[in-house]
């Protein structure tokens, strides 16, 4: 159950934008074609400003933007606590939105080394980071009780039915926070897998959940930036629907994080203490 819920002081109510749109097309089969329509996920540029200064441009599905803003600020190291965000303002511009975060002080200086010179594509969590050293940073170590694998199986079994947006558009990724019994507590969706994690992180912190008592469930492959975001959130285990990269496993070892990958009807498990120090060992 959630503990103390976080309240961001002077948080303005941000208007939600439709996450999908009905678009016309033709359905073509062996016997011909008919006019039809399809629910398509929105993908919009959201320019992120920190205290009025450009920080990043991210491509995302415009839903749960308040959760995204909080999760993004935490995972990027702009703030260490939600209380440092004093205001969020969303402004529509041509073909997208500007999201201005008013942060106490100037924010962390090292996080501005990660300022993105290019737009972050929906498939790329770190596109545009201005230096290689800024893109791969050591994740914090995580601690917590590991769930039983039956709980992971239970969560995977319920995962698809909880993804309402994906059921409509067949496109979006999902990230879910699960308790140690395998119950899905929170779920967020986005066309970008890393955006879904940021949205989930923001929602979890805002609603007062304790990530160290939970695990993270992903609909996507496990790339290294997903491990970084999960470590900042503080979950001791990540379960993903597709394979990890070597760098993801190396960072998971550094973070003391357990990794579980679904492989058809089996689970592939990676314990940090069993992982080699170097990816080629």
Task: Return d(Cα 223, Cα 84) in angstroms, integer.
Answer: 29
Whole-prediction pTM value? 0.85
Active site residue 124: yes
Q: How confident is the model at residue 138 (pLDDT cuts 50, 70, 90)?
A: confident
Residue with tokens 């016309």: 24
pLDDT in tens, 84-124: 999 999 888 888 889 999 998 765 555 555 555 444 544 55
pLDDT in tens, 63-85: 899 999 999 999 999 998 888 99
pLDDT of residue 189 exceeding 70, the answer is: yes
Q: List the catalytic residue out of 124, 127, 178, 214.
A: 124
Task: Return d(Cα 189, Cα 243) in angstroms, integer.
Answer: 20
pLDDT, residue 78, reads 92
Average pLDDT over residues 130-134: 50
Percent pLDDT > 70 in the chain is: 81
pLDDT, residue 150, reads 97
Core vs surface per residue 171-198: b (16+ CB within 10 A) or e = bbbbbbbbbbebebbbbbbbbbbbbbbb
3-state secondary structure of 216: strand
pLDDT in tens, 28-55: 999 999 999 988 988 999 999 999 999 9
Of 12 and 270, more confident: 270
Task: Return d(Cα 52, Cα 101) in angstroms, integer.
Answer: 8
Q: By mean pLDDT, which of 6-10, 145-149, 196-200 is the weakest?
A: 6-10
pLDDT of residue 9 exceeding 50, the answer is: no
CA angle 46, 197, 202 (to 5 degrees): 75
pLDDT, residue 94, reads 83
Task: Return d(Cα 132, Cα 2) in angstroms, integer.
Answer: 37
Residue with tokens 């008919």: 34
Looking at 3.40.140.10, 3.40.920.10, 3.40.190.10, 3.40.50.1980, the CATH number of the domain 149-274 comes to 3.40.140.10
Q: How far is CA 128 from CA 55, 65, 133, 209, in A?
A: 11, 21, 13, 32
């Amino acid at each position: 159950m959630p503990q103390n819920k976080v309240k961001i002081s002077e948080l303005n109510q941000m208007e939600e934008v439709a996450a999908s749109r009905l678009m016309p097309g033709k359905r073509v089969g062996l016997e011909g074609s008919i006019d039809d329509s399809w629910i398509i996920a929105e993908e919009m540029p959201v320019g992120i400003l920190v205290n009025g200064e450009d920080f990043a441009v991210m491509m995302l599905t415009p839903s749960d933007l308040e959760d995204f803003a909080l999760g993004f600020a935490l995972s990027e190291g702009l703030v260490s606590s939600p209380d440092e965000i004093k205001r969020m303002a969303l402004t529509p511009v041509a073909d997208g939105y500007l999201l201005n975060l008013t942060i106490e002080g100037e924010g962390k200086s090292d996080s501005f080394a990660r300022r993105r010179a290019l737009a972050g594509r929906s498939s790329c969590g770190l596109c545009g980071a201005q230096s290689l050293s800024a893109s791969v940073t050591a994740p914090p170590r995580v601690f917590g009780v590991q769930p039983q694998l039956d709980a992971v199986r239970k969560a995977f079994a319920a995962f698809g039915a909880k993804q309402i947006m994906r059921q409509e558009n067949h496109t979006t990724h999902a990230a879910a926070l699960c308790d140690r019994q395998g119950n899905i507590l929170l779920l967020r969706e986005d066309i970008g897998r890393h955006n879904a994690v940021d949205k989930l992180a923001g929602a979890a912190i805002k609603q007062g959940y304790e990530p160290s008592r939970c695990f993270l469930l992903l609909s996507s492959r496990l790339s290294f930036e997903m491990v970084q975001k999960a470590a900042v959130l503080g979950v001791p285990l990540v379960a993903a629907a597709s394979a990890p990269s070597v760098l993801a496993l190396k960072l998971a070892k550094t973070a003391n994080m357990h990794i579980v990958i679904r492989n058809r009807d089996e689970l592939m498990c990676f314990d940090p203490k069993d992982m080699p120090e170097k990816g080629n060992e």
